[in-house]
Amino acid sequence: MPDSAPVPAPFPDLVSGDSASLDAAVLDAHFMRLALAQAGQAYAEGEVPVGAVVVKDGEVVAVGYNQPIGRHDPTAHAEIVALRAAAEKLGNYRLPGCALYVTLEPCAMCSGAMMHARLARVVYAASDLKTGVCGSVLDLFAHDVLNHHTDVLGGVLADEASAMLKGFFAERRAAARRNVAP
């Protein structure tokens, strides 16, 4: 099983411009669309549709999608898969200057890994009101006593990410109802 789906070609609105001169919001949306494509791969494999992309200097370094069921690994969240691939590619467990784009607000495990990796920035799409720790349940990144501080931005393409998650869980509930005898 591959670690991640292939990265799609850049969006047409980004091809003609210099990435340094593009508006940050446009770049955030672009990289989040790549994360959404990874989430689609998870969805296709029956995993909770969460995708992640690690970016350094405007270039995709690594991608990942949720795989805990298929890998029989509770740590195989999209963020962890992408962080491991980025660390391997860059030859360092620290990822300074990197940003991670993820379609769902990170949990405590993933946020801890992001802090240890020394990410410069985390951008997420949909909030997670049950396990999100970028402000929904807790805000681990806001604790001044921690030795590394990461910039966090939420809500980028949140509607698209939320729709994918809602659709996935609606399908799962419908399948469960069909399998239950009256």
Q: CB within 8 A of 43, min separation 6: which ones?
A: 49, 164, 168
Annotated active-site residue in 45, 47, 59, 79: 79
- Tokens linked to 21: 């001169």
Of 107, 89, 161, the residue nearest 98 (C-alpha): 89
Signed CA dihedral, 15, 16, 19, 25: sign only: negative
Is 79 a known active-site residue? yes
User: Could you give the residue ranges of the DSSP H alpha helices within 55-182?
Assistant: 68-71, 78-90, 108-117, 158-178
Catalytic residue numbers?
79
